[in-house]
Structure 1
Amino acid sequence: MKTEKELDEAILNITLKINSEYPELSKYLTEMPVTIPDIKNPEMNVKALQEYYDSLESMVKKYSTNHTD
């Protein structure tokens, strides 16, 4: 399992990729339901970050397969 820091970096990288390669998807970034629980259990934060990253990755994969140049 990735650490919180690794997931933060992965989320940043995929967000930068979306902004540079698929700017038309940028509008969906603010609409994505992501909540980082305000709890003491860091495992839950990692889980929430992983789910958010997975949703971003899925969005990019689906879009890129349907919208080729």
Structure 2
Amino acid sequence: MKKVHNVLTEISVLIKKIETDYPELYQFLDENPITLPTELHPKLDSNTLEDYLTDLKSLLKHHIENHIKSKK
């Protein structure tokens, strides 16, 4: 299991990449229902952060496969 600091660093780098290289996708990050906690005070542990990182990677991969390739 990765340490929280490493996961947060990966999340930050990926979000910056999305913001810079895929601005059309960046606008949806705040609205992604997968990332919205349903609890009033969610527990943010390493597993939660790794799940969020996985969701971000999936979102980017899906966007690239379905939007970028269709423009070629």
TM-score scaled by length of structure 1: 0.80
Determine the structure 1 residue equivalent to 2:9: 9
Aligned length: 63
What's the counterpart of residue 20 of structure 2? Answer: 20
- 1:43-62 equivalences in 2 (<5 Å): 45-62=45-62
Structure 1 segments, 4+ long, off by >6 Å, are: none
CA distance in 2, matches of 1:34, 1:9: 20
1:53 offset after TM fit, Å? 0.3
Q: Name structure 2 gaps, 5 residues minimum.
A: none
Unaligned runs of 5+ residues in structure 1 are 38-43
1:65 is displaced (CA, Å) by 1.4
TM-score (norm 2): 0.77
- The CA RMSD measured in Å over matched residues stands at 1.5
* Identity over aligned pairs, percent: 27
